[in-house]
Amino acid sequence: MKYPLDRICVKSGILCPSCQRKVETGVVDIDEIKVMKALMDIEEKHKVLRNGEYVKSFMAGDQLILILRDGVEQAELEEVSKHLSRELDAKVKIIVETGDIRRLIEQVISPASLLGVNQVWLPDGTEIVNVRVPRRDRRFLEKNRTTFEELIAKLTSKKARIVFE
């Protein structure tokens, strides 16, 4: 797996000047180093991770959201997610980065279904992403609705709103 920091720096915990600069400029958050180290530790056991690339990780509510890119399939990552959850003592959700907003949002809100994604332009020039979810799946999203909206907003760089139909 490719990482934004050097493997040696992550494993040792001592950052070289190049890696230190990435942390100081905000390219990589200091909390992400722990996640990268856990990924490196389980990479030998889960060969599917070798083809991927680490993009970002952050906490959203009580969940750790891990975003990967290239060469990894969502179905294969369920076992990796469980293993990381045990390693990091947090609920981990792995999202495969894609250029398709609809697929990205489907991964975020799963196990809830997605009816559709609408982009609404407001008169002041801002854009809102309306995520339409069936009423029957309300139980999956209702208590953490604002967390999911913030997460979708971070991933799409647009304000998000979840609508139950």
User: What per-residue confidence (pLDDT) applies to 21?
Assistant: 93
Spans of the chain below 50 pLDDT: none
User: What per-residue confidence (pLDDT) applies to 128?
Assistant: 92
User: What per-residue confidence (pLDDT) applies to 58?
Assistant: 84
Secondary structure in 3-state letters for the chain: CECCCCHHHHHHCCCCHHHHHHHHHCCCCCCHHHHHHHHHHHHCCCHHHHHCEEEEEEEECCEEEEEEECCCCCCCHHHHHHHHHHHHCCEEEEEECCCCHHHHHHHHHCCCCCCEEEEEECCCCCEEEEEEECHHHHHHHCCCHHHHHHHHHHHHCCEEEEEEC
Query: What DSSP character marks residue 2?
Result: B
User: What per-residue confidence (pLDDT) applies to 49?
Assistant: 81
Q: What is the pTM of this model?
A: 0.80
Closest CA to 14 of 42, 37, 38: 37
